[in-house]
Structure 1
Amino acid sequence: MADCTEQLKRRILVAGKKEPADLVVKNGKIMNVFTGEVMEGDIAVVDGIIAGIGDYSGESMVDAQGKIIVPGFIDGHLHIESTMLAPQEFSKILLQHGVTTVMADPHEIANVAGTDGLDYILENSQGLPMDIFIMLPSSVPVTPFESNGAVLHAEQLRPYLDHPMVLGLAEVMDFPSVAGAEDTMLRKLAAFQSHPIDGHAAGIGREGLNVYVAAGIRNDHEGVSYQDAVDRLSLGMRLMIREGTVAKNLEALLPAVTPLNARRCLFVTDDKLLDDLVEEGSIDHIVRLAIAKGLDPIMAVQMATINAAEAFRLQDRGAIAPGFAADFVLLDDLRSVAIHSVYKGGICVAEKGAVHEELFPVPEPALPKPSISTFHVKEVHLKDFELPLASDLCHIIEIIPNQIVTNHLRMKVDNDNGLFRPSLKKDQLKMAVVERHRATGNIGLGIVKGFQLNKGAIATSVAHDSHNIVIVGTTDEDMFAALQKVLSMNGGLAVVADGEVLASLPLPIGGLMTEQKYTDVYANLKKMNESLKEIGAPAAFDPFLTLSFLTLPVIPHLKLTDKGLFDFHSFRIIPVEADSE
């Protein structure tokens, strides 16, 4: 309390010009997210907080040279695990792109390792020059139609509510459990009624949204159409506009944003791969796209800053004003969101596309706990990849490039003596999901269209949200070889052709992440992309991320889990063979 009182006293004295500030930023054009105006004046910073805007003196001075100053960007929903990086390396990339605060949902690693996974993210997100807040995962497991590594009930989540980095409950995916007022879900929702709760209303119409809002769920990022946006906003939800690597919803949702409702909208990346973050950016990329598509620049900045802060009840950030955290970005140009430098708590953490490495703690080399890093897979044989068929009419998953929803097709396939045979001509490949948490021996088999591979196979232990090992390939032999490579690395990505491993990326932290430097991982991903070209993968979408979402049963329309082919609309496992209707 004494420290807080002294800091408050000093802030008041600096605001009243009775003491000099720690830092004064002069000659900048300050974007006021409250009024929409661009102001001129000095920004006075003390103890990492803005004390005032006006005419100030301080211990040090930064000349903004007429640059535009906006608040630090905030990502309202993402999964650190999707970058395949540990929190420290993840933060280095986002800071370069002006993102100073994120709301992370660690349900990927929680589905692998439960509370040990949560603890890993919390422990490794502290002491960084970026704020990583946590929304506790609501769906561990996501559904009973797949096998995962842990179960988290309200009793396991409630103790984390006292943690200063924890804000609320993350995307509630199990709509049937909410709509049915099932006891396990009710206890979670009840425990978080005084905290922000995120939705996951994929494929849910307006009537279903009533159920979500009545349950206390106020945010949602699964809108994919204009009508989705209108429905969410009209029922009082905050609209999260997502633009990630696979799910790109900005173009469809943006027409629904008006001056009257824009303050209820915010930007999120959800799942974005490392190479896209490095090459495109993060929230800055979404702001750039939104402005290019005609959104007023001030509204775009509001959606990237103060709107997100208010959605998560963060009263101390999202604006450049007295009493707010001194998190701000100097832009050379607003429309192109050209970032010159980034400040966190009044300290320059990145400039000219590079972070100040000395601000980051030196990580202590340590292996993750066995519960995080160990695979448990029953021995798999080549014959286990055979997919028996009694007919040639089958249910087929069709991928939609750059979307996480799929089409549900009924098509004739090649039946070779009672076994499915992949067809390059028809672009019908085999897909497998191998359970890796409890050595159940479960292997789900299905047929997928859209990958366009002309040879080989790819495999990954990143498979939302239970993160079993998912494989797609042209031959059983290459699929088997890709599986063996992933197992030998204790998790990761592999590209195989003609029995040879063309490229691989180890992910020893839960089969999801690595503590390697992001520059090394980025270079490795480049090699992976080259190997994907060798086997014919198209460049229009990311094959690995697309594959990783084909196992997520809470997203329409047809998916594959270790227990079999899952139909979203009937919400049940169905056979691969289709009835001849």
Structure 2
Amino acid sequence: MIKTWFECTPQLVDVAMGRTPADMVIRNVRWVNVHSGEIVPGTDIAIAAGRFAFVGPNADHAIGPQTQVIDGEGRYALPGLCDAHMHVESGMITVTEFARAVIPHGTTSMFIDPHEIANVLGMPGVKLMHDEAAGLPINVFVQMPSCVPSAPGLENAGASLGPAEVREAMSWPNIVGLGEMMNFPGVVAGDANMLAEIGATQAAHKTVGGHYASKDLGLPFHGYVAAGPADDHEGTSLADCVARVRQGMRAMLRLGSAWYDVAAQIKAVTELGLDSRNFVLCTDDSHSGTLVHDGHMNRVVRHAIAQGLKPITAIQMATLNTAQHFGMERELGSITPGRRADVILTSDLVTLPVETVVAQGRLVSRDGGLVVDIPPYPYPAEAKDTVKLGRKLGAADFDIAAPAGVNGVRARVIGVIENQAPTRALEASLPVADGVVQMDRAGDVCQIALVERHRGTGTVANAFVSGFGYDKPCAVASTVAHDSHHMIVVGTDKVDMALAANRLGEVGGGVVIFSEGRELALVKLPIAGLMSDQRAEVVADEANALIEAMRQCGCSLNNAYMQHSLLALVVIPELRISDIGLIDVTRFEPTDVLIEEAAV
């Protein structure tokens, strides 16, 4: 654990004055100063006790016989990148493996919300990830999950947390605030529990994370802001981020594996000229394949620059702005004395190749590879074997019965929107055979099921979904099903759907795809049914095989698995599925799958 600035003050002063040698000196860099917005050439950086001690034109006075000297060779030195809002579990790997994957990409600070594991294991799961995060060589801070379950009355999670648990967590050393307040209908309705969670966080002088997933910027939006959430990452349009910033929130613009929300909103800065200090970049959800092959926050910064943002402004949005938002400007986000010594060396600010990474004053990555050993974190047995189906499922469990004597029906259909979290509320005319409503593969309407997996009740909720484009018999099942994390099964063939669901029951959770009775790909996720105990590179390869198998079955969506995993997220409009059935997330109430009879 890095010492506090106060504890290090005598050593930092002595190094700055030349009385004591530094632990490390990085020489001859172009200093990307995120406070002044300048790039200062010919700069040296002296580091001691994991913090910056001196940043100036010549650090000869800070070099001793034992000082590690790194020649910057005129490259740019910028602060280590910060991810302001993210869920480790979305990478299907542990916090440790996530850190191993992103350090070579220059991420040195992460603000994680472990509400995935919270929905399965409750407070013990949050504590596991909190303790794991505290032992890593980069800065991993935790936000206490706020909505477990995310929408009480519309779903049943594996655990339930409330104001008492939030108050307890605020005393933990690595908790920096409250995770995204997803139950925005509860907040605007004055729900006592939601407001108490916000109040407990504010009483601890910590940051309340927001999640207003509605297009309504009228009174409900104003009521939500009045309750205290300090940020929001659910904006998808220019109007969204403008409204948030004008009301004193910080707009978090996300580029995850499947969420592409930066381009539309960054125009608030590049075209409307809004103050960039109130915009923050984040990922929210990143697939392991994205982390290993494409990058993390460096990918987001590059993307923001490609949308017309000045490089230094984009860097500020991924460093200083994030630190200021969490009240940690004196700890993170800039290369200035006293802050944690997190540095990236790069030869180009636009393409942003990450050539050297220093975290907390320690060289951790060079030329895209780790140079430190980060051992696996041992998850206990009670964090595993969490998938309880209660019985073996058969094809008939996925039947949707039609009214007696009809040959066709009109049905509600969940419509997937590529690269966005919201869905559309669609309708389709579907045929009936032997009293059972049929899918329409030619019309891209297949079935979706939510299989209860926390208590072994054996219940299955069925509905229809469109947008995946599957054109052959297949089924994809996943125990990653935000946010209650039951099991989502999407398929064009009910026999395959049963095979996929039962397979995940056998292996203790994960993601699997079957086609015509044959298993095409499997990612085992034994930790809470959410995370693998394998290395990130192994999981990335398995996940890529899964995505390729989905393509072979006709799905051409970008990162379709991420879309699949959010179809049970009953706090984002318009239609979702939960363990109690189809949910209308514009009205926040259950709704019938079948609308009316229709001749087909």
Bucket of the pairwise TM-score, normalised by the shorter protein: over 0.9
- Aligned with 2:399 (options 382, 386, 389): 386
Distance 2:417 2:168 in 1: 40
The reply to whether residue 78 of structure 1 matches residue 91 of structure 2 is no
Distance 1:310 1:244 in 2: 22
Q: 1:433 and 1:3, CA in 2 relative to 1: closer, same or farther beyond 3 A? A: closer
Q: 1:214 and 1:2, CA in 2 relative to 1: closer, same or farther beyond 3 A? A: closer
Corresponding residue of 1:178: 187
The reply to whether residue 152 of structure 1 matches residue 154 of structure 2 is no
Corresponding residue of 2:105: 97
Corresponding residue of 1:317: 332
Letter in 1 for 2:493: T
Aligned-residue offset at 1:149: 0.3
- Aligned with 1:416 (options 433, 452, 455): 433
Corresponding residue of 1:346: 361
Aligned-residue offset at 1:139: 0.3
Corresponding residue of 2:294: 280
The SS at the match of 2:531 is coil
Distance 2:309 2:465 in 1: 38
Distance 1:569 1:445 in 2: 20
The within-5 A match list for 1:296-445 is 296-314=310-328, 315-358=330-373, 360-361=374-375, 363-364=377-378, 367-369=380-382, 372-379=384-391, 380-390=393-403, 391-445=408-462
Distance 1:204 1:535 in 2: 34
Letter in 2 for 1:473: G
Decide whether the 8 Å contact of 1:267 with 1:304 is kept in 2: yes
- Aligned with 2:546 (options 528, 551, 558): 528
Distance 2:166 2:385 in 1: 22
- Aligned with 1:565 (options 582, 585, 591): 582
Corresponding residue of 2:134: 126
- Encode CA deviations 1:252-271: one digit per residue, 9 max, x unaligned: 10101255410111101001
Corresponding residue of 1:45: 47
Which range is displaced more, 10-19 or 526-535? 526-535
Q: 1:447 and 1:308, CA in 2 relative to 1: closer, same or farther beyond 3 A? A: same
Corresponding residue of 1:554: 571
Aligned-residue offset at 1:3: 9.0
Decide whether the 8 Å contact of 1:127 with 1:361 is kept in 2: no
Aligned-residue offset at 1:311: 0.5
- Aligned with 2:307 (options 293, 300, 312): 293
The within-5 A match list for 1:161-310 is 161-193=170-202, 194-206=205-217, 207-257=219-269, 260-310=274-324
Distance 2:399 2:130 in 1: 42
Unmatched tracts of structure 2, length 5 or more: none
Aligned-residue offset at 1:171: 0.4
Q: 1:293 and 1:339, CA in 2 relative to 1: closer, same or farther beyond 3 A? A: same
Q: 1:4 and 1:320, CA in 2 relative to 1: closer, same or farther beyond 3 A? A: closer
- Encode CA deviations 1:92-129: one digit per residue, 9 max, x unaligned: 11111100000000000000110111022112223211
Decide whether the 8 Å contact of 2:138 with 2:360 is kept in 1: no
Aligned-residue offset at 1:376: 2.3
Aligned residues: 577
Aligned-residue offset at 1:529: 2.6
Corresponding residue of 1:35: 36
CA-atom RMSD in angstroms: 1.7
Unmatched tracts of structure 1, length 5 or more: none
Q: 1:173 and 1:269, CA in 2 relative to 1: closer, same or farther beyond 3 A? A: same
Aligned-residue offset at 1:558: 0.6
Decide whether the 8 Å contact of 1:458 with 1:473 is kept in 2: yes
Decide whether the 8 Å contact of 1:30 with 1:39 is kept in 2: yes
The SS at the match of 1:373 is coil
Aligned-residue offset at 1:182: 1.5
Which range is displaced more, 193-202 or 259-268? 259-268
The SS at the match of 1:496 is strand
The within-5 A match list for 1:416-565 is 416-454=433-471, 455-538=473-556, 540-565=557-582
Decide whether the 8 Å contact of 2:409 with 2:597 is kept in 1: no
Decide whether the 8 Å contact of 2:478 with 2:509 is kept in 1: yes
Corresponding residue of 2:121: 113
The SS at the match of 1:156 is helix
Which range is displaced more, 374-383 or 483-492? 374-383
Decide whether the 8 Å contact of 1:136 with 1:157 is kept in 2: yes
Q: 1:362 and 1:387, CA in 2 relative to 1: closer, same or farther beyond 3 A? A: closer
- Encode CA deviations 1:69-99: one digit per residue, 9 max, x unaligned: 1000000000000000011111011111100
Decide whether the 8 Å contact of 1:102 with 1:133 is kept in 2: yes
Q: 1:3 and 1:445, CA in 2 relative to 1: closer, same or farther beyond 3 A? A: closer
Distance 1:571 1:3 in 2: 46
Distance 2:448 2:11 in 1: 62
Q: TM-score normalised to the size of structure 2?
A: 0.93
Distance 1:209 1:577 in 2: 32
Distance 1:6 1:537 in 2: 56
Q: 1:422 and 1:308, CA in 2 relative to 1: closer, same or farther beyond 3 A? A: same
Q: TM-score normalised to the size of structure 1?
A: 0.96
Letter in 1 for 2:209: D
Decide whether the 8 Å contact of 2:461 with 2:579 is kept in 1: yes
The SS at the match of 1:257 is helix
Distance 2:234 2:103 in 1: 26
Aligned-residue offset at 1:579: 4.2
Aligned-residue offset at 1:204: 4.5
Aligned-residue offset at 1:49: 0.6
